[in-house]
Structure 1
Amino acid sequence: MSWTNEQRYRPITDAKDEELAQLEAKVAKSTWRQKYHIQPNYGLLNDPNGFCYYHGKYHLFYQWFPFGAVHGMKHWYHLTSTDLIEWKDEGVALIPEYRHESHGIFSGTTLVKEDQLYLFYTGNHRNSAWERRSSQCLAVLSSDGTIEKMPEPIINEPPKKYTHNFRDPKVFKKGDHYYMLVGAQREALEGCLLLYMSDDLKKWEFKQELKTNHESFGFMWECPDYFSLQGKDVLLLSPQGLKPQGNDFQNIYHSGVFIGEFNEEKGVFDTQDFQELDKGFDFYAPQTTQAPDGRQILIGWMGLPDTTYPSDGDSWANCLTIPRELSIKNGKIQQKPIRELKQKRTSENHQHLEIANDRQRLTTLFSEPGEYQITINLETATRAGIAFRVGEEEETICLLDKAAEYFCLDRTHSGQPVATDYGTVRKIAYNQSVIHLTVFLDQSSLEIFVNDGEAVFSSRIFPEKDSRFIEIFAENGVAQIEIKQWLYE
C-alpha cells in the first residue's frame, strides 16, 4: 500500500470505531505478536519517550502512529508499571492539536518538579513547501492524571547556522539550574547537540553548541540522554551517518555512549571513545531512568528508522527491548537484564550435553518464549553453537568460533528477511574457549547478553510458526553445551 500525506498525517481523534476494530482484528491474526515485550496494539511504535519514576510508578511513553506500520503523524502513547514487568495501558497521552505540532509530536523526556511531571517533546510542522519546522514544547502531567499542554513552544526554532533537524530534548537539573540538550544538525550537515539553560523549565536561554571531542561524527545526533553513573558522566545518543568500522556500526543507524566529564558552565563534554551499545540488528533510540534503588535502567526501541519489517503487512510494527540495568566496568558500559524478570520464570528445564563433530536436535527443549542461560565450552572443537527457531529451512544461530576468534549471531535463514542490504551476520571479537549467554526469546525477537552483559545483541526474527526446534552443533572436536530454560507466562 502506498500512503498519501493525507493518510499519514491524521490524529487518532479522526479515527472511526470501525476503522480501529479492523486494525485490531488484522493484528490479532499476526503470528509474530510478542508474548512479553512492549508492542503497539496496532500501528507503528518507535522511540521510547519520557521514561521516569513518578508517584510510585514507572511511566513510559513511546512514539506511536495509529493507522498502520508506517511513519506518519506521531503521538505519545502511555504505559505505567510498578515493577518494570507488568505494564498498564494508559492510552494516548499526547495528541497533535496545535499548528506547531501539526505533523507530529516527536521524542522527548520528562522531569519531576513540585509533584508534577513535565513532559518535553519536539513539535513537528510542515509548511506548504513541505519544509520541516521544529520547536521544543512542554506538557505537564499532574498527580490526578490530567495533562495540560502549553499552547506555544518553549523554544520556537533552532539558532542560526543549524537546520530544522532539531529534536528530542533531554532535560535535567544540575546545580541550581535546569539544562536541556537538543539533538541538532549544523548547516554543514554535521550532527551535534545544543545546550540550553532555564530556572523555571518554561523560559529557556540558548547557551551554545555542546563542545565535544567529536566535531565531525555523523550527519545528525538524535535522542540524547545524560546521567551520572559510578562517579562518571555518561552521554547517550543516536548518531546517524557513521561508517562501518570492523565489527562496529554495521546497521543503517546506531546508538551508543560517551563516558567522560560534563562541565555545564563551560558547555563542554570531554568525550572519549564512542561505545556502540548493541551489536545486534535492531536497536535504536534508547532512554534511561533512575530507579528508586539507584539503578540506572535502559529501554530501547528494538527496531530502526528507514527499515521495513515483515509484520508491517499485519498493520503493526516494532517493539521495545526488555529493561536493562547499566553499570561501568573497565571503562565500558555493561548491560544486564533487570533482576525483576526472574518473577516471570515458570517451569525450568536443564540439559548438559556433550557433542562431537555433530548436529543434534533437542527433543525435550523447544524454542518457546522465555529465558535461556547457555554455556558453550569448546573442549577440542574449533566451532560450536546453538540454533533457535529451527524449521525445515529456518534457523537463527549463535556461534562461537575459536579458530577465527569471534562470536556471532547469524540470521541468514531466520525466516522472512529484514534489511539484508546491511548483512545477515553480526560479530564481536572473542578468543576464549568458553562463553556464557543469557538469551531472551520471544515470538519475533531475541536478545543475547554475553558474559553477564559485556556485549548485547538485540534482533527481530520472523520465522514460520512451526519453526520451533532447538539444535546444537560442534565442529572439529568435542564441545560441552549446558542449557537452562525458563518459560515465561
Structure 2
Amino acid sequence: METNTNNHKEQIAKAMQSVITEHEKVNQDPWRLNYHVATPAFWMNDPNGFIYYKGEYHLFYQHHPYSPEWGPMFWGHVKSTDLMQWTHLPIALAPSEDYDADGCFSGSAIEKDGNLYLMYTGNVWTGENRDTDLKQVQCLAVSEDAIHFDKLKENPVILEAPEGNIHPYHFRDPKVWKHNDYYYCVLGSKTNEETGQILLYRSRDLFSWKFMAVSAKGEGNFGYMWECPDIFTLEEQEVLVMSPQGLTPEGDKYHNLHQAGYVLGKLNYDTGVLQHGEFEMLDYGFDFYAPQTTIDDQGRRIMIAWMAMWESEMPEQNQNWAGAMTLPRQLILENGKIKSKPIPEIENIRGNQVIYENLIVEGEVAFKEVDGNSLELDVYINANEASQFGLKLRMNETGEQYTELKYDVNSGVMTFDRNQAGSGPGGVRKAPVQLINNTLHLRIFIDKSSVEVFINDGEKVMTGRIYPDENSTSIRFFSDGPCQLTHLKKWDLKHSITYMEKK
C-alpha cells in the first residue's frame, strides 16, 4: 500500500493558513453558533466520514477554505469524546491529484487493521457545464493517527460507473461498511433518464471493488438524483437514508429545494438488491440535508446532517463563514417509524436550570429567566380548552421580530414560521402531529442562529436557521384559550466548540 504525500501536504498547509487567518474575524459574528459544529472560517456543507474510532467520535465535512461560497472541496475535521464538545483538527483532505483536482467530494470512514480509512469521491470538471462536464471516481486515504491522511497510490479504487442504465458521470458519496467477510459500499447515482438510484459494490480487501447491483431505484415522485446514501441495520431491519434531489411538493411535504429521508427494507447481501417501503422524511424543517450515521461503542446509531440547504440565503456569508452541522441525534425504530432523539450527552453542556410546573397560559405570557440565545427548553403543554397554542422564540423588545412555533389542535398540524425571524430567508414549514393524552411535548434547542424542535420524543423534528438581532432574546408562550404548561424546564447551553489557536 503506497501513498501520495507531498503536494497533498502543501495544499492542506495553504488551506489551513487561509482558515486560521480569517478565524478571529469570523468569531466576532453575533450569529456564530455556540454548540453546533461550524468551520473556523469559510464554507461548509455535507458531513463526511462520521465514525467512532479508538474511543473518539470523528466527524469530517465538505469544506471550501478560501471563501464562504461552495468551491473545490476539502475535508474539514473535528473530534469529540461525547458528541457535544468538539475540537477542530487540521484539514484532512485537499484536492491535489489529477483524479480529484476539482474536489474531494463526500464520503465515509472505516477502520481496517487499526488504521482509519476515508473513502471519498474525486471530482474533475471536464468543461463549463457542471451537470454534464464532469468525471467522478472513488478514492481512498489512510491515517495511522486519525489526523494526517495520505492518499493511496492505487487511487482511484473505482474508476468509472458500471454499464447499463446508470449515468456515467454522476456517481458519488461512497458509504462503506463491513458485513461478515466483505466490505460493502453504496453510491448515489441516477439513470440516464434522470431517476434517482443507488449502486452497491463489494470488496474483500477495501481496495479492489466489484459492482453488485442497482440496489434501489426511484419510482414516481422520487427525484432525479439520490445523494449521500447510507445503509445500516436498526432492530434487524435495513434502513436506507438518502437525500433525493428533485422531489415535487406534496401537501405540506417536500418544500425544500432537496430532501433527506429514509426507507425501511431488507437488503439481500447475495444479490445486492434492497426491497423497501415508502420514503419518510427525517426532518420537517428548512435546513437539513445529507445526513450521515455511525454506530458507537454503546451500539447507538447516531445521525448528523448539514444544517443548511442548497441555494438558500445565508446571511453569515457576509462575515466569511457559511453552514453548520445539526445536533447529533440518536435514531430509534419504533412501530415501523424512525424517531430522532436528542442524545443524553447534551447534559454535559447544560447550566443554569430553571423549572416551572402547572402554569395556565391564555393570551401571551413570558416567564422569568426563560429567555436567551443559547438554550434548551423541555416543555409539556396540555391543550385543555385551547385550539391554537405555541411559543415565540428570539423575540425583540417591540415584539415585531420572532420565530413562531404553533400547534393547531383541530388540524393536528405543527407550524414553524420564520417570516418574522429577522434577516435571512423566511418561510413556513408544517408537520402532522398528534397530541398524546391531549399533550404536546417539545424539546427546543436554540443557538445563536438556529432552532431545532424535537416533537413528542423525536417522532418529528423541525430544523431551521434564523438570523435575529443580537438583543432578540425573549421567549413568549401564547394560547387562544386556557392551556396548561404542566412542565417547563430551561437550561442555558455552554459554548462547546474548540477552534485551533492561531499560530
Same fold (TM over 0.5): yes
Where does residue 203 of structure 1 map in the other structure?
A: 208
Asked whether 1:430 is paired with 2:429, we answer no
Matched, 1:154 2:152: no
Q: Deviations over 1:133-180 (max 9, x none)?
A: 100011112147442202421111212441411110011122322211
User: Which residue does 1:5 correspond to in 2?
Assistant: none
Do the aligned partners of 1:32 and 1:444 also contact (CA within 8 Å) in 2? Answer: yes
* TM alignment of 1:111-150, pairs within 5 A: 111-129=110-128, 131-143=133-145, 145-150=147-152
Q: CA offsets, 1:23-73, max 9 Å, x none?
A: 324312311001111011111111111111112211111111112221101
Q: Which moved more, 1:448-457 or 1:206-215?
A: 206-215
Structure 2 residue aligned with 1:4: none
Rate the CA distance shift 1:354–1:83 in 2: closer, same or farther, 3 A: closer
Identity percentage over the alignment?
Answer: 36
Residue 476 of structure 2 corresponds to which residue in structure 1?
A: 471
- Structure 1 residue aligned with 2:498: none
CA distance in 1, matches of 2:392, 2:432: 18
Instruction: Report how far residue 14 of structure 1 moved.
Output: 4.5
Query: How far apart, CA to CA, are the structure 2 residues paired with 1:38 and 1:373?
Result: 22
Q: Name the structure 1 match of 2:87.
A: 88
Q: CA deviation at 1:206?
A: 1.6
Alignment of 1:282 onto 2:287: yes
Name the structure 1 match of 2:500: none
Q: For residue 228 of structure 1, give the secondary structure of its aligned residue in structure 2.
A: strand
Separation of aligned partners in 2, 1:145 and 1:74: 18
Tell me the secondary structure at the aligned position of residue 304 of structure 2.
strand
Structure 1 residue 20, shift from structure 2 partner: 4.7
**CA shift in 2, pair 1:20/1:343, >3 Å:** closer
**SS across alignment from 1:100:** coil
- Alpha-carbon distance between aligned partners in 1 of 2:141 and 2:14, rounded to the nearest angstrom: 22
- Distance change >3 Å, CA 307–CA 12, structure 1 → 2: farther
**Contact conserved, 1:406 with 1:431, CA < 8 A, in 2?**
no
Residue-pair matches, total: 476
Deviation at 1:215, TM superposition (A): 7.3
Q: Is the counterpart of residue 220 in structure 1 residue 213 in structure 2?
A: no
SS across alignment from 1:311: helix
Residue 222 of structure 1 and its aligned partner are, at CA, apart by 0.4
Q: 1:449 to 1:20 in 2, by over 3 A?
A: closer
| Alignment match of 1:417 (pick from 411, 420, 424) | 424
2:413 to 387, 406, 417: 406
CA distance, structure 2, for counterparts of residue 264 and residue 188 of structure 1: 27
- Tell me the CA shift for residue 213 of structure 1: 7.0
Amino acid at match of 1:88: T
Name which of structure 1's ranges 295-304 and 206-215 shifts more when overlaid on structure 2: 206-215
CA offset digits 1:288-336 (Å, max 9, x no partner): 1111011111111111122231111111011111111111011000111
2:352 is aligned with what amino acid? Answer: S
| Paired residues of 2:196 and 2:218 also in contact (CA < 8 A) | no
User: In the alignment, which of 233, 237, 241 is matched to residue 238 of structure 2?
Assistant: 233
Residue segments in structure 1 that go unaligned for 5+ positions in a row: 1-9
Q: 2:403 matched to which residue of 1?
A: 396
Change (3 A) 1:280 1:119: same
Structure 1 window deviating more from structure 2 (221-230 vs 128-137): it is 128-137
Alpha-carbon separation, structure 2, partners of 1:429 and 1:323 = 22
Task: Tell me which residue corresponds to 1:265.
Answer: 270
Q: Which residue of 2 aligns with 1:6?
A: none
Q: 1:388 to 1:353 in 2, by over 3 A?
A: farther
Q: Distance between the aligned counterparts of 1:187 and 1:216, measured in 2?
A: 17
Q: Give the CA deviation at 1:116.
A: 1.1
Is it true that 1:28 corresponds to 2:27 in the alignment? yes
1-side partners of 2:184 and 2:21: how far apart?
Answer: 44
1:228-270 CA deviation, whole Å, 9 max, x = no partner? 1111111111111111122221211111111110002112111
Give CA-to-partner distance per residue, 1:353-380, whole Å, 9 cap, x none. 6445411233432123121101111111
Secondary structure of the residue aligned to 2:194 is coil
How far apart are 1:460 and its partner, in Å? 0.7
Q: After superposition, what is the alpha-carbon deviation per residue over 1:64-114, rounded to whole angstroms, capped at 9, x for unaligned?
A: 111222110111111111111211211100011001111110000111111
Shift in Å, 1:13: 4.6
Alignment of 1:55-94 (within 5 A): 55-94=54-93
The amino acid across from 1:265 in the alignment is: D
Residues in 1 aligned to 2:267 and 2:325: alpha-carbon distance in whole angstroms: 29
Q: What displacement does 1:127 show? A: 1.9
Q: Which amino acid aligns with 1:150?
A: L
Change (3 A) 1:431 1:303: same
Q: 1:150 to 1:385 in 2, by over 3 A?
A: same
Displacement of 1:121 in angstroms is 0.1
Name the SS for the 2:370 alignment partner: strand
Secondary structure of 2:162 counterpart: coil
Aligned to 1:249: 254
| SS of the residue 1:403 aligns to | coil
- Tell me if the contact between 2:143 and 2:150 (Cα under 8 Å) persists in the aligned partners: yes
Cα separation, 2, equivalents of 1:88 and 1:356: 42
The TM-score normalised by the length of structure 2 is 0.90
Distance change in 2, residues 1:478/1:333 (3 Å)? closer
CA contact (8 A) 2:195 2:217 kept: no
| 2:101 aligned partner | 102
Q: Name which of structure 1's ranges 26-35 and 325-334 shifts more when overlaid on structure 2.
A: 26-35
Amino acid across the alignment from 1:166: F
- Native 8 Å contact 1:408 1:428 kept in 2: no
The separation in 1 between residues aligned to 2:177 and 2:20, in whole angstroms, is 40
